[in-house]
A and B are shown apart, each in its own frame.
Chain A
């Protein structure tokens, strides 16, 4: 058996739209197979995973809490990947954003007014951007592979956070548990509708960021520059665009948005700086970006889908005793299927079961 690809003369508009849905469908089928293999009723499990979390308003709030960081990071990553810069260290930039934003309530606990929160958000963005600037600098200055450097910095950031939360930033009144002081109300990101659920304003920031970045990509010369340099660097240079500056732009934007997501998570969902602040959002957001076809608005939809796998995983563990690790498998499979289905946009795929040639 072999697979033959035949190039389409034009990108298929049909499959551009369909491919994420085909990938989702394939993931569901794969999920049913996994559940059956684990000895669980597949339909009930899928229901618990993908429908149940959507049935109550407070659960929708939980969904928004999970979706907010995913969307915010993925919007930045979609710009980054579009420009052919491979930032896979968003997890580290998320953490550094969380740390930088937390400096204000932890170091200046007395500074509590209407400026506290905006400053924290600004610090968060700056912290993430600064972290993103490191691989950008190394790439432009030393030609260093940004994939490896940005990833290595994730481990460094995690260890740095661990050190802070257990060491210098540990709450003296915290009975020796790791973690900073609990943030005062002025340093907490508010809830949108406290009577219905606990979703904070992070999701609003995420959607606004997505729309703004989408407008930039779709309608401005900057978006054009990003697409040209990503698709064809040499044509981009011929156009007079600087790929050096683009490396910085992509890493600062994606790092900054990841950092903003980090401080929103700390200040909104958690309320203090802990030794871990992310269940792998920075990595899952990579899947979100691709499922959204590297389109910022697509990332919004994809962010909710991936957030659902987190919630569904928790629900399925409680209701059916299915390990929440299965959620990670779903996420990985989904990305595989998305990438595979994207081939249909550029190629017709023909499966040849028996070689018609005899050698």
Chain B
């Protein structure tokens, strides 16, 4: 069947969207979006961060109401006022940010989205049977808070399948999986398609879309820019549809000269789990030299956040020598004193960790630099030289091309990409000898991401040591000189980029390296 036949054969369409518009304040998140889905297809919804994909699917699932346009289900116009109604129609959803409850069991989590009053025990049995039949084993009585990210996604999928939907919406499902887990997911999806279900697959990963999807709708700035058959496109043609302009390719020259001086030295770093749901760190050792970028891969929740806190000094170690920065034992020093060694840190969360949401950008500049730039920013009696701070903030805004709506706006009013550029720029402005970054481009648009990656490479080439923690393997392969993998609180040896493949790194992410303990033996101290 060709595309043209599918769109004209009205009785065959499962879902048809005509002219859907959604406005937030002055921003048109969706502007006259049209597309349709037929039974038994995997339909990709492509677009970069901020293109309006999530807004669109929230309207399809009844979480948001459109301001204009029509949604037709099996040819009939429908108003989907809430998720219950979407489920009643036969629409199921697997969320990107899981909608799960940590303190409840798997079965209870599933029960909450089933509208009728089936006893929990029946639900548990059904869920278990279904999960095994799809090869996604689940224990219905385990507490969700204790499960890994991959297992959590299984709950979402099983929960969705138990509602026997005709259309399954998956929002960026592979962003939290290892390559091998993603393969497993693709098998499941293809099997579902063969059973006659339709799938709306949202992603910005072009390779998987090309591999699996039958048709694609591309969104840019809230508008549909193309309908196409992804198998007939190339990754770069899809990318230019998504982004509009040519994306500046990140350039990574090979590092020159021999290995530089060791700037970051982590020796046998261990840390007990701080809360029942946290991950302990197990005997981590790592060296990062001047001039190189070391990437740390891993599925979310394998101790990356805990590792970052231990390196940054937000949490102190018992042994001073477990973290050495520029030859100084800093294990027992706080973050301010670690910064004074010439180290800069960028955490994963932008709002509420890297920046205070309701504070102005200039105040957020002061946030990480009042101590390192004390002589410039502070006057007698601890008074703040606001002129100097504002000038520095302006400098960063210009240097990183931060787009903003006001002179010195609140951090929360910036888009994710612009705020991240500001936060990275705030640290680069210090010209740090060491930079430690957690998820540098998470949720950032392609243009900003390229700029940030380029900046990190250039920093390394200018003689600094750069440590990047990321869940985005493409990103790590693009910028790293070597990649280490975190799994279950332990870290593998760095694999030089010339020897690393997606498959080998993916296996490490899944914990295949000998000597690793199994995941469910999580210790709580």
Contact = CB atoms under 8 A, between A and B. Distances in A.
Interface of A: 6, 9-11, 219-222, 224, 227-228, 231-232, 234-240, 242, 357-359
A235 B406 contact: no
B370 A232 contact: no
A9 B404 CA distance: 12
Contacts of A357: 65, 79, 81
Interface string B368-398: 1011000000100111100000000000000
A237 B316 CA distance: 12
Given A219-B384, A240-B371, A11 B353 contact: no
11 contacts: A9-B25, A9-B413, A220-B381, A222-B382, A228-B367, A231-B359, A232-B357, A238-B345, A239-B367, A239-B368, A359-B82
Contact of A238 (B65, B357, B359, B367): B367
B415 to A, nearest CB: 11
A84 B312 CA distance: 24
Interface string B139-153: 000000000000000
B89 to A, nearest CB: 14
Contact of A10 (B336, B367, B406): B406
Contact of B370 (A11, A224, A238): A224
A232 to B, nearest CB: 4
Contacts of B79: 357-358
Contact of B409 (A6, A10, A240): A10
B378 A235 contact: no
A228 B410 contact: no
B334 A240 contact: yes
Please give me the 5 A-B residue pairs with the lowest Cβ-Cβ distance, nearest first: A240-B336, A232-B356, A235-B356, A220-B382, A221-B382
A294 to B, nearest CB: 13
Interface string B346-369: 010100111111110001001110
Contacts of A221: 370, 378, 382-384
A238 B85 CA distance: 43
Contacts of A239: 335-336, 367-368, 370
A358 B81 contact: yes
A220 B384 CA distance: 5
Contacts of B410: 10-11
A122 to B, nearest CB: 23
B50 to A, nearest CB: 15
B197 interface: no
Contacts, number: 80
B384 A228 contact: no
Contacts of B381: 220
Contacts of A242: 334
Contacts of B405: 9-10
Contacts of A227: 359
Contacts of A235: 352-356, 367
Interface of B: 25, 65, 79, 81-82, 85, 312, 314, 334-336, 339, 345, 347, 349, 352-359, 363, 366-368, 370-371, 378, 381-384, 405-406, 409-410, 413
B389 to A, nearest CB: 10
A357 B85 CA distance: 12
Nearest to B374: A221
A240 B335 contact: yes
A267 B356 CA distance: 44
A10 to B, nearest CB: 6
Contact of A234 (B85, B336, B349): B349
A282 to B, nearest CB: 29
B339 A238 contact: no
B413 to A, nearest CB: 5
Contact of B383 (A220, A232, A238): A220
A343 B345 CA distance: 35
Given A9-B405, A224-B366, A232-B352, 18 more contacts: A9-B25, A10-B405, A220-B381, A221-B383, A221-B384, A227-B359, A232-B353, A232-B357, A232-B358, A235-B354, A235-B356, A235-B367, A238-B368, A239-B335, A239-B336, A239-B367, A358-B81, A359-B85
Contacts of A358: 79, 81
Nearest to B334: A240
B339 A240 contact: yes
Nearest to A229: B356
B81 A359 contact: yes
A11 B356 contact: no
Contacts of A220: 381-384
Contact of B384 (A6, A224, A231, A240): A224
A230 to B, nearest CB: 10
A225 B462 CA distance: 34
A227 B357 CA distance: 12
Contacts of A234: 349, 352-353
Contact of B354 (A228, A231, A238, A240): A238
A234 to B, nearest CB: 5
A6 B406 CA distance: 20
B384 A238 contact: no
B383 A228 contact: no
A219 B383 contact: yes
Contacts of A238: 312, 314, 335, 345, 347, 353-354, 367-368
B325 to A, nearest CB: 15
Contacts of B366: 224
A213 to B, nearest CB: 14
Nearest to B414: A9
A205 B502 CA distance: 69
A178 B367 CA distance: 54
A359 B384 CA distance: 55
A168 B347 CA distance: 59
Nearest to B345: A238
A5 to B, nearest CB: 13
Contacts of B312: 238
A237 B347 CA distance: 12
Nearest to B386: A219
A228 B81 contact: no
Given A234-B349, A238-B314, A238-B335, A10 B363 contact: no
A10 B370 CA distance: 25
A232 B352 CA distance: 6
Nearest to A234: B353
A227 B82 CA distance: 39
